[in-house]
Amino acid sequence: MMTRILELAFRLAWKDLRMEFRSRQNFLTVLFFAFIVIVIFNFAFEPGSPAIRESAPAILWVAFLFAGILNLSSAFIVEKEEGCLLGLLLAPMERGVIFIGKFLSNMMFQLLMELLIFPVFLVFFNIELRGGWLWFLLVVILVNTGFVAVGTLFSAMTIGLKTREVLLPILLFPVIVPVIIAGVRATGLVFQGSPGSDLGSWLKLLGGFDLVFVVVSAAVFRFVVEEAS
Amino acid sequence: MTPPLLQLQAVKKHFGEVPVLKGITLDVAPGEFVAVLGPNGAGKSTLFNCVSQVMRPSSGQVRYRGEDVQHCGAAYRRHLGYISHQLFLYGELTGLENLQFFARLYGVEASSRRLEVLLREMGLHHCRDRPVRTYSRGMKQRLAITRALLHEPGLVLLDEPFTGLDQHAATLLAGLLRRLRDEAKTVLMISHQLEHAVQLASRVLFLVNGRIRADLSAGQIDPPDLARRYMEVVEQSGGGRG
């Protein structure tokens, strides 16, 4: 049963990836937006000033998450064209599979964008991670999990609305504030090279919120998507 | 007597305070081609949504082969083929990729060879590796029909399948639907175009204001008379909501 659910979810995610990399409609826009944010913030600060190092974690997450919003807001557009969402609802699978599939594809797009933008950020802000790579990777995965889970749900919720692009961040950011704060704090500790027990606390907090967000989003998704069809 | 394949028992559906289906009771026998006609807002699409598990009825039951479909879970949808004016196709995928994708969703072990045979039957083999967005409307509709019948469904639902088609594509589609009828597939079609119902259906229902107002069998479907009776029923019932 679980194998079948995962197989179908990966099929859905693979379909999204294949379509996106053929059309390249969305990903390049998202990538360029994240790059622009990094560049603008870099010019806003005096080179080498303490302020730039203190603000770097927040700037990084502003770039990642605001660009991520662009990706999330179009995640279901492709399903709305030609009634494909109804086509998925009519398929003999639980509606949660659609959520998992969309979550996986959104997560992959988000991580790929971050993978390409992060080296640029390191160069512009002159930051060395030294031995903190694994901690940073863990923070990135945890922040993205909460962000993408709630974002996927809200993206489905706003699919039929003309003001979708405006409404999505307004709905999403207040909900994921705890994840953003924990992500920024944890990233700051990793950048300072002093993980310690404080980092552990932030990671636990992120893990807790992720668990709640993923479970609630997956449970509510069915009702949202049936309404949206 | 053959037990009905599909049964609707006093199906009601409300959206908030607004009743859309007001107690639909209907038996569809295996091999029947039933056309449901009605004006805009009559509740035709809501009826289909209840039959296809996209919506839950507010009360009443939909039964397939005697079982309440709400208790069958997602497995029930394996028996449905849904053909609509919406195509359920991904423009950036090729025709073959679309079929492969939906075959997986329906758990059909469709080999590439079988899919190629189906595409050949539908006259789409030559463009199987082209993105669907480059297809004409008629080609897309044929691919959508192939997709909907890929898993050999027991019940085919046709939701306004002629909407948006030009004359050539509509003629092709009518031919394909005639084939379904001749193969004794059980079909439920909603439409507001009477001529297609006359050509294809073995039974015609008039759904107006959420109620079935007439149920005509093949012998009672007289083309010139059908339009007149339809107009009478609609006017007597106060038309659709729309």
How far is residue A195 from each of residues A60, A158, A198, B82, measured CA to CA in Å? 18, 39, 7, 56
Q: Which residues of chain B have pLDDT under 50?
A: 241-242
Domain of B130? 6-236
Q: Does B76 touch chain A (CB under 8 A)?
A: yes
The three-class DSSP label of residue B9 is strand
Domain tally, chain B? 1
Q: Considering the domain boundaries, does residue B64 fall inside one?
A: yes
Q: What is the DSSP string of A199-229?
A: HHHHHHHHHHHHHHHHHHHHHHHHHHHHHH-
Other Cβ atoms within 10 Å of A83 Cβ, number: 21
Rounded Cα gap, residues B87 and B140, in angstroms: 7
- Asked whether the predicted pLDDT for residue A33 surpasses 90, the reply is yes
B73 contacts in A (CB within 8 Å)? 94
What is the pTM for the complete model shown?
0.89
**pLDDT at residue A48 in the model:** 75
Rg value, chain A, Cα: 18
Inter-chain contacts counted by CB atoms under 8 A, chains A and B:
74
Query: B101 vs A11: CB contact, 8 Å cut-off?
Result: yes
In a domain? residue B242:
no
Average of per-residue pLDDT across A166-177: 94
Contact partners, residue A119, CB within 8 Å, separation at least 6: none
Domain-embedded: residue B210: yes
Given the structure tokens 């919003």, which residue do they identify?
Answer: A69
Q: Do B131 and A93 touch (CB under 8 A)?
A: no
Decide if pLDDT at A130 tops 80: no
Residue A228: the pLDDT is 65
Instruction: Please check the confidence at residue A14 and state whether its pLDDT lies above 90.
Output: yes
Axis crossing angle, helix A95-125 with helix A27-44, rounded to the nearest 10: 40
Cβ–Cβ gap B101/A19 under 8 Å? no
Q: What are phi and psi of B115, to 5 degrees?
A: -65, -40
In a domain, B40, yes or no: yes
- Judged by DSSP in three states, B160 sits in coil
Instruction: Measure in Å the smallest separation between the Cα of A224 and chain B Cα atoms.
Output: 12
Classified as helix, coil or strand, A91 is: coil
CATH number of residue B206's parent domain: 3.40.50.300
